[in-house]
Structure 1
Amino acid sequence: MCSKIVLFTIFSVLSISDSARILGIFQTPTTSTQSVFQAIWKELSLKGHQVTVVSPFPLRDKSLVNLTEIDVSGTTKIFLNHDFQFFMNKERSTTSKIEALFNVNYELSEAIFEDDGFKKIYQNPNERFDLIIIQIHINPIFHTLGARFNAPVIGVSSMGGYIGSHFAIGNPNHPALYSEMFLPYHGKLTFSERWYSSFYNMWVRGYLYFKAMPRCNQIARKYLGSNIPDIEDLQKDLSILFLTTNPILYEPRPNVPIIQAISQVHLKPVQPLNQELQSILDNAKNGVIYFSLGSNVQSIYMPERFRRILIETFAELPYTILWKWESEDLPNKPKNVIIKKWLPQQDILAHPNIKVFMTQCGLQSLEESFNAGVPIIGVPFIADQEMNIKRLERYGVGLEINYLSVTKEELKGKILEVANNDKYRKKVVELNSLLNDEPIKGLEKVVWWTEYVLRHNGTKHLRGPTVDIGWVEFLLLDVISVTLIFTVLCLLILKRLICFIFTKKEKLKTK
């Protein structure tokens, strides 16, 4: 009888992890972020799980029989309606950018809840899921789907964790040691950087508590009902947080057990180029500079001054310039510049004639560059990009360009330096070797931990103690206060005693 129970238990556990029903919400309508999530939901589907995904970039792969995709590509216009020049502008404060990003995400969330395909899921009282996977960037609204379906929640980020996520799960986040990914700091912070980082931490806490979270709760309850718990409480129960980080680009730090670092999950085997691109790259006698600012920061939105400097510089270079330019025409285009609206980046970087990759330094682009062994000219604009290039300069794999102040002479000199000095390429190869020296690949880790959550219906046993402790206790303010009060009382008593003794002595002398 006992053996039958054991066998039944084992069978139940295996069947849960082998054929779970998983709902994924990946809201940001940008190619680079979605490439990470696509790899994850495809792999889980191939492992036999029944996966339903809400995304603006569905795979539409008919061979994935376990996959149902709800196309919300209409949300792309929300990004376009919000002037992305705002986010590119380095002169804007970080706090104003955070507020703007939250505003974008409020609209994205409502648009997804309004989608007819998604409505059929969350409004169906008989619908059930064993697990919810959500994109965690800056938007916590979809945490509420865990409460709606009574299922554990896993978060995935295509970059490092936003400071609000660290706060929510009780992850150590000392402002003097770990720069927030939206701040342009790196390594050991100066006094002014520590000062700003500290007050930025406090501002974020206040902004989340008084403004962002009330709005997020309001949106969630509008669609899921007034009985949905507060998002602040739901975030504490996050089962796993997958961050696309590594100790090369992000400072090594202590993490609570539910944070799992993954990297290079979006990389694919190199595919043959089309005949036109193959011919362009093969016939570039002096090599090719590949220039792309990714899917978030598009070249057509760059400041006019910087575009003019690029064009003048490229005209004087001996290389072929392959430029991802999102328009039919580039005014004053030099003869050695070839523009394309879209380019297969991983396949292009793998070509031996690529000498330099000029990039905005988004994480996915950097991983592709490392994988191909191509050195970098970094032109950072937003989010973690400035932090990334500063670390890469330290490692010697590339050089940074400040698009606000760069001159033609500086730009030309740095491109020639990286293209002609083989030390940069050698450093990239060394860096890639470090990144790949790990016991388990990123996608394998995602699958293992996802099925771990399914087997145990969450990870409450891994919950960090800092989640459930208030700031008074965490900062030992109660201990410090009581100690100070006790010390002051002791000193006052001692003072009284001394005064009493001296008064007695004086009285004895006068008698």
Structure 2
Amino acid sequence: MKFMANLANQLAENGHQVTYFQPFVIEAYKDHKLLKHESIEVLNYWHDEEGRKHMPPANDLHDAWYSGKYQSAIKAVTEMPEFLFSAWEHMCRKIFQDAELLVNLKERNFDVVIAETFDFCGLCAFWSVFCLKLIRDLFSDLADYIESKSIISVFTGSRLLAITTPLGEPSWLHYLPAPSSGSFGPGSSLLDRLNDLYHKYVFGNGYSVVFDWQYYQVARLTGGKVRHWKKILHDVTFHFSNSNPYLDFSVPTIPKVIPIGGFDMDETLDTALPKEYEFILNKRPVTVFVSFGSMVKSRFMPNHYKEAMARMFAENVKNITFLWKYEDLEDQFLINHLPENVILKDWFPQRALLADKRVKLFITHGGLGSTMELAYAAKPAIMIPLIAEQPDNGKMLERHGSVEVYSKYDIPNWKKLNKVLQKMLNNESYQKSADRLANVLKNQPIKGREHMIKHAEMAAKFGKLPELTPNVQDMGVIEFYNLDILFLFLSVILGFLYLLWRYVSNCAGFKSKLE
């Protein structure tokens, strides 16, 4: 939501008429104040009473602290499709059955629709979308159904394996390691390469299943008047990837995939801290900021996790102040265990804290937003991935030498966590690596914001650009893998061997007759 809102804000700041259509699948987010530009037209769309019964509960990810299902390729196929589809199904159906809404959106005659690919109902119709005359984060099916002149697909993570092939990107195998692979590139082990192969095809297939289900749902609702999601992706004008080539793994791609990662890392942003933080940050020699994001709440930590964190904090009571973003300030169990060097708040000015030199380290879940912020702020970090793409983000940043990735299953081992903390605070190499990475990002020739604005404007001006769609996308399996050429070579070789066999047999027979 924050990523798409930032897209809308920056397009509006550049003088474009932006409509932000936001169906609230989870109404807990209804009071967000992410849209800053007053010219943005906001179209809110709500569940009906039946739909509210299907909304995911606020604590739906409470088990992410200790469960492996959110990072399992098998679970991605066996459980994730049903979980995601059930969360989105009712809202998608409501949108496509709302004739007045569909006519309203179609009559606006948007120049371009920007639709997120995580939920394909919008690309079909266009949910979570914003439009340039421009729109926000509708789904791909909706954008296609209202016959938008131009569609820009977006994935707010750095990558989604299920969409790479439909977009026309070459295989990332060997370029992008699986999060659980210990080694990659030259010298990677047989088991790690097998794991990469397994992750690519099994994990990627999980999202394909969800998107297929959404397509079949929309096809039923529209009488078949919508294209398959792979066809829609094939024809998008551009695809915005929340990736930065100087930060991310280097993978093969195509010109229509535009890396805009870091477009919202505004270097001119005022990062001045409120006065109350001056005393806090000067109280001890070192300050460490702890935040696990907003998707998986810290308050849902098992008690023995909380107790272990408190023990680690207490071990550093003289020298380190810990600032912990924690949602339940009345959690008596935690309060009873916390030492005096810990400050709990349900919100901290994260970007301003990361920009302050007195904050020496960031303990984070490794969400992509936090990953971008700590990279641009030159802040070393301990990354404790919990769900989704967070293990990928950890591995991505770890290779730059500025972070250590720590398993969530080892949080109860407070001595081990404290050892990693001390290692990072006492080794200057982490800060030097973080400084170098931040310097590279700040000096990249073309910034993510410029990439995003110019390509959105080009899509609005020219519509679809078939010139950017690889011809290989329309090739069949036989053509793509040259199976006919292989068959021809095998036929020639087998034919030659057969003739050779006949010749040798005839020679042997002739010799026998002579004898």
| TM-score between the two structures when normalised by the length of structure 1 | 0.83
Q: How far apart, CA to CA, are the structure 1 residues paired with 2:235 and 2:293?
A: 34
Q: Does 1:416 align with 2:446?
A: no
Aligned counterpart, 2:328:
327
Aligned counterpart, 1:12:
none
- 1:241 aligned to 239, 242, 255, which one? 239
Q: Is the 8 A contact 2:18 2:40 kept in 1?
A: yes
Please list, as runs of the form range in 1=range in 2, the aligned pairs for 1:263-274 lying within 5 A after superposition.
263-268=261-266, 269-274=269-274
Aligned counterpart, 1:122:
102
Q: Does 1:378 align with 2:383?
A: yes
Aligned counterpart, 1:21:
none
Q: How far apart, CA to CA, are the structure 2 residues paired with 1:69 and 1:186?
A: 47
Aligned counterpart, 2:141:
144
Q: Evaluate the alpha carbon distance shift between residue 204 and residue 314 of structure 1 in structure 2; reply closer, same or farther with a 3 A threshold.
A: closer
Aligned counterpart, 1:65:
39
Aligned counterpart, 1:300:
299
Q: How far apart, CA to CA, are the structure 2 residues paired with 1:426 and 1:199?
A: 36
Aligned counterpart, 1:196:
195
Q: Evaluate the alpha carbon distance shift between residue 228 and residue 185 of structure 1 in structure 2; reply closer, same or farther with a 3 A threshold.
A: farther
Aligned counterpart, 1:31:
none
Q: How far apart, CA to CA, are the structure 1 residues paired with 2:183 and 2:429?
A: 23
Aligned counterpart, 2:127:
none
Cα distance, 1:505 vs structure 2:
2.3
Q: Is the 8 A contact 1:136 1:156 kept in 2?
A: yes
Q: Does 1:91 align with 2:68?
A: yes
Q: Does 1:453 align with 2:459?
A: yes
Q: Does 1:103 align with 2:76?
A: no
Which secondary structure state, in structure 2, belongs to the residue aligned with residue 395 of structure 1?
A: coil
Aligned counterpart, 2:251:
253
Q: How far apart, CA to CA, are the structure 1 residues paired with 2:67 and 2:507?
A: 68
Q: Evaluate the alpha carbon distance shift between residue 418 and residue 252 of structure 1 in structure 2; reply closer, same or farther with a 3 A threshold.
A: same
Moved more, 489-498 or 103-112: 103-112
Aligned counterpart, 2:135:
none
Q: How far apart, CA to CA, are the structure 1 residues paired with 2:408 and 2:44?
A: 39
Q: What number of residue pairs does the alignment pair up?
A: 473
Q: Evaluate the alpha carbon distance shift between residue 478 and residue 302 of structure 1 in structure 2; reply closer, same or farther with a 3 A threshold.
A: farther
Q: Is the 8 A contact 2:84 2:210 kept in 1?
A: no
Aligned counterpart, 1:78:
55
Q: Is the 8 A contact 1:242 1:446 kept in 2?
A: yes
Cα distance, 1:377 vs structure 2:
1.2
Q: Evaluate the alpha carbon distance shift between residue 300 and residue 84 of structure 1 in structure 2; reply closer, same or farther with a 3 A threshold.
A: same
Q: How far apart, CA to CA, are the structure 1 residues paired with 2:436 and 2:46?
A: 41
Q: Does 1:399 align with 2:400?
A: no
Q: How far apart, CA to CA, are the structure 2 residues paired with 1:48 and 1:223?
A: 37
Which secondary structure state, in structure 1, belongs to the residue aligned with residue 264 of structure 2?
A: coil
- 2:502 aligned to 496, 504, 510, which one? 496
Deviations 1:240-267 (A, max 9, x none): 1111212344221221111111122233
Cα distance, 1:359 vs structure 2:
0.7
Moved more, 299-308 or 375-384: 299-308
Deviations 1:312-354 (A, max 9, x none): 1111113111101111223422221111112221122223321
Moved more, 289-298 or 421-430: 421-430
Q: Evaluate the alpha carbon distance shift between residue 504 and residue 192 of structure 1 in structure 2; reply closer, same or farther with a 3 A threshold.
A: same
| TM-score between the two structures when normalised by the length of structure 2 | 0.83
Q: How far apart, CA to CA, are the structure 2 residues paired with 1:434 and 1:428?
A: 10
Q: How far apart, CA to CA, are the structure 1 residues paired with 2:323 and 2:301?
A: 17
Q: How far apart, CA to CA, are the structure 2 residues paired with 1:99 and 1:54?
A: 32
Which secondary structure state, in structure 2, belongs to the residue aligned with residue 114 of structure 1?
A: helix
Q: Does 1:466 align with 2:472?
A: yes
Aligned counterpart, 1:19:
none
> What code does the residue aligned with 1:97 have?
A
Deviations 1:260-296 (A, max 9, x none): 1112223341344344444423x42222110001122
- List alignment gaps of at least 5 residues for structure 2: 125-138
- List alignment gaps of at least 5 residues for structure 1: 1-33
Cα distance, 1:394 vs structure 2:
3.2
Deviations 1:23-54 (A, max 9, x none): xxxxxxxxxxx222212111212233222212
Q: Is the 8 A contact 2:151 2:238 kept in 1?
A: yes
Aligned counterpart, 2:217:
219
Which secondary structure state, in structure 2, belongs to the residue aligned with residue 80 of structure 1?
A: coil
Q: How far apart, CA to CA, are the structure 1 residues paired with 2:245 and 2:322?
A: 32
Q: Is the 8 A contact 2:324 2:344 kept in 1?
A: yes
Cα distance, 1:184 vs structure 2:
5.7
Moved more, 128-137 or 106-115: 106-115
Q: Is the 8 A contact 2:117 2:154 kept in 1?
A: yes
Q: Is the 8 A contact 2:66 2:408 kept in 1?
A: no
Deviations 1:107-155 (A, max 9, x none): 2354255369986432446342221111123646522223222222111
Which secondary structure state, in structure 2, belongs to the residue aligned with residue 52 of structure 1?
A: strand
Moved more, 67-76 or 423-432: 67-76
Q: Does 1:353 align with 2:358?
A: yes
Q: Is the 8 A contact 2:362 2:381 kept in 1?
A: yes
